[in-house]
Structure 1
């Protein structure tokens, strides 16, 4: 591979924004890719994947390059040189790479690869919490899996098309996909491609949604005609899946504390042809109380650490703090205590997170079931999805039923 100066400069500019200004990696990369209309697919892929790669391995590369935050541009070029050397890419004769110690880089890599927190490039506290909650053997495999690049998985919108038809339509555009076992509406791309520019996307035939995330709506056991509450709907990825499973029949009340996310959900619902969704902003406890004992199904896709989705959000490793996890666990319990009251007798509730930590998952469900609010519920089943076993994001989901 030959390095091109303008592409490398874009990567360095992006890393400056992500590491030194706290910008979100996905937003930065979106902006970078608009820089030069002459860039082809390979150029764009280089900028996006190299930026993500250096973000993912920040701690390891910084340690090898012997640089510390905040990183000036010279430091970032040194980290870039480490990335290129470890990838086997020949460094061009540019001033930024003068005196790069190639043999030392490889030696330091071998040395640091014996220590998990460097090998997997994670903060000390994250390594400690993973080891403590999952045990060394499982955490070794899980954090390694969470450092792999995520596959692109589509969820077919069955309100508008079928899996077979969409696969054929994408094949005609040279986008090849595979079916996934135990994921009835999923198509996995064989190679990364810009699916958002396709007519199929603009027509609402699919959403991009990880295979593990697609399991959550299925877990809810919805039927056409039900009243369903998606209590932490966000921009509505799972809400839209529920709408397709309900065949647009019945009512879905999509709730969130953020009005702007619900506006995005409305836009996506229109594109998807989902007509049975009613967004409601949670601006007071009254919004929840009005629905006490009224819902056949309630989905609580709870706010969480997001440790199960590090593959697609590698910068979260550096933004997340241990205090946040302590705080979010309190919020999770408050939400399940309050929102569970919307389930009517005989109705069902799914509590889900995109975390792999038992303290955010099964321990929260156990705590709820032994509380006063939880005595009316029983656990039907739960599913602990680990990335190293599934090959997709880490997730947790528990199905609870309200007893008579």
Structure 2
């Protein structure tokens, strides 16, 4: 996910010529739909921007309102509870509660928004959804918030879980886990990073262009960008002046949007020209297409996924990037026996996971995840590894990765797999990482695992292991 409002263009054929609703009202509609549909805010926001005839300034404001309010929802909920008695709070309609969140987010976190504008617009919205009493309540709470900017939180030393959860806007069960592992200071840093805007990287398509050529093209197109010191094909976009998909370099397939943590996985897999490779959980295809680029678009990649919509994106990306060695299979990779009779050279398992390493991109994920789901993911991850282990050649490579930082989904899955599959042996990922990454302290563990923490390494939280099949099943 990217916080930049120009990430997708508005589609002119669907434009509404008049913006009938205020930006704050549109933000509320998106938040209500996100909760009701259990859908990603990013997808709903992008659809909304494509439908509306918004200025670039309005897109930026809308994006900040939506993502910011979701990121800080726990903190905003705590603040509302300081100003409204419990009985009254329980009776609040979702529309009024979310209107309060939006108003408070502007007052506490958006310095450029005048307090009076946040209050007046919120009151008008509340009146549309409730009665005059709802408008009065919103008015009273927000005016009180303006006067009481210094909120009192539970004592950090006595109630660290409650303090960090309320002040830094994370569910208590996540805070409790991290406190046990990282201590107070690191847990606060981790929460703060999760509440920040993520950096924006693209991957050069080296089948078509060099990084220097791409940088020159971006400069001509008015895009502020710089080469990454970490990964040779990576470029950081500093500022977009126009929609990404309107760029000629994008249309020509010169790059793919991908975070640097994710880019490292193809390096660890180290695919070679002419090989047969499986990408077990592939959509929307950032890693599949990167693997194809490593292979010089020669060989075969079987890309499995159960998500039809995301596989459609993979197909579109392949066409744009000029990649034709990827065969898309819309099925659960645990059914791999139906599609493979022989053995393959390498397999990547980018496993479904809790996503707790990428919370700054998936803003609603922390409010939807549960402790129980971590154990469910762990079971699924092991089942996927167990299923695909049979179709790797002798001396073949298996790479496992997740975008979470939780041990049950990372180290513990691998420990169990190796214990039950003595035909596989661990290999350190270090020799396969780009030189810039190898210089980063503690990014590879003593066991040779890649372990990226978002608060320590300024990259998405990620985990990866490389294994070689040295025996038979």
Q: TM-score, normalised by structure 2?
A: 0.78
Q: Residues 21 and 225 from structure 1, CA distance in 2 versus in 1: closer, same or farther, beyond 3 angstroms? A: closer
Match of 2:201 in 1: 153
Shift of 1:343: 1.5
Q: Residues of 2 paired with 1:101 and 1:13: CA distance?
A: 25
Match of 1:297 in 2: 346
Aligned ranges for residues 138-217 of structure 1 at < 5 Å?
A: 138-192=186-240, 194-217=243-266
Secondary structure at the residue paired with 1:98? helix
Q: Residues of 2 paired with 1:367 and 1:207: CA distance?
A: 35
Q: Residues of 1 paired with 2:336 and 2:31: CA distance?
A: 42
Aligned ranges for residues 322-337 of structure 1 at < 5 Å?
A: 322-337=371-386
Q: Residues of 1 paired with 2:95 and 2:339: CA distance?
A: 55
Match of 2:61 in 1: 46
Query: 2:285 aligned with 1:270, yes or no?
Result: no
Query: 2:459 aligned with 1:392, yes or no?
Result: yes
Match of 1:403 in 2: 470
Secondary structure at the residue paired with 2:239? coil
Q: Residues of 2 paired with 1:72 and 1:245: CA distance?
A: 49
Query: 2:53 aligned with 1:12, yes or no?
Result: no
Secondary structure at the residue paired with 1:183? coil
Q: Residues of 2 paired with 1:220 and 1:251: CA distance?
A: 15
Q: Residues of 2 paired with 1:80 and 1:279: CA distance?
A: 42
Query: 2:348 aligned with 1:288, yes or no?
Result: no
Secondary structure at the residue paired with 2:221? coil
Match of 1:349 in 2: 398
User: RMSD value over aligned CA atoms?
Assistant: 2.4
Match of 2:43 in 1: 27
Query: 2:145 aligned with 1:102, yes or no?
Result: yes
Deviations 1:23-75 (A, max 9, x none): 320122113313432x2211101101211000100010121122569753332
Q: Residues 313 and 143 from structure 1, CA distance in 2 versus in 1: closer, same or farther, beyond 3 angstroms? A: same
Secondary structure at the residue paired with 1:303? coil
Shift of 1:20: 4.5
Q: Residues of 1 paired with 2:304 and 2:416: CA distance?
A: 24
Which of 65, 73, 77 matches 2:99? 77
Deviations 1:148-192 (A, max 9, x none): 111111111111111111111111122111111221111111125
Q: Residues of 1 paired with 2:22 and 2:336: CA distance?
A: 52
Q: Residues of 2 paired with 1:308 and 1:285: CA distance?
A: 25
Q: Residues 45 and 167 from structure 1, CA distance in 2 versus in 1: closer, same or farther, beyond 3 angstroms? A: same
Match of 2:304 in 1: 255
Secondary structure at the residue paired with 2:376? helix
Secondary structure at the residue paired with 1:84? helix
Secondary structure at the residue paired with 2:459? coil
Q: TM-score, normalised by structure 1?
A: 0.91
Structure 1 gaps of 5+ residues are none
Q: How many residues are treated as equivalent by the alignment?
A: 397
Shift of 1:402: 0.8
